[in-house]
Amino acid sequence: KASTLVLSEQSRVNGEIRVTHLVLNGTVAGPIEASEYLELQSKAKVTGDVKYKTLEIQLGAIVEGKLAHISEATEKVVSLKVSGVESK
């Protein structure tokens, strides 16, 4: 289900954020996962790891943590079985 969260520069969040779209101009202490789009505006400050699919960062935004891109490959994990081993 799609979800959008917009946090102004006066906002403060302590905890995990998991949404489809996030526009942040405040402070977050905790991990963030934006499955589609993340915009960090100029007064945004994140202390924690960030996972995103599309990222926009404005001058002045701060991230103290790891940035990890969510790709199609990481979203879909496929298990493969070995059908046989050929030896010579």
Nearest to 75 by CA among 51, 56, 57: 51
Residue 87 belongs to a domain: no
Q: How many CA atoms lie within 13 A of 6 on its CB side?
A: 1
Mean predicted confidence (pLDDT) in 62-87:
72
Report whether pLDDT(78) > 90.
no
Residue 20 belongs to a domain: yes
Residue 80 belongs to a domain: no
Residue 24 belongs to a domain: yes
Residue 46 belongs to a domain: yes
Residue 83 belongs to a domain: no
Nearest to 36 by CA among 22, 49, 50, 24: 22
Residue 82 belongs to a domain: no
Parent domain of 38: 4-75
pLDDT for the residue numbered 2:
81
Band of residue 16 on the pLDDT scale cut at 50, 70, 90: very high
Residues 28-74 have pLDDT tens digits of 999 999 999 999 999 999 999 999 999 999 999 999 999 999 987 65
Residue 15 belongs to a domain: yes
Q: Give the total number of structural domains in the chain.
A: 1
Cα–Cα distance for residue pair 24/41, rounded to 1 Å: 6
pLDDT for the residue numbered 50:
98
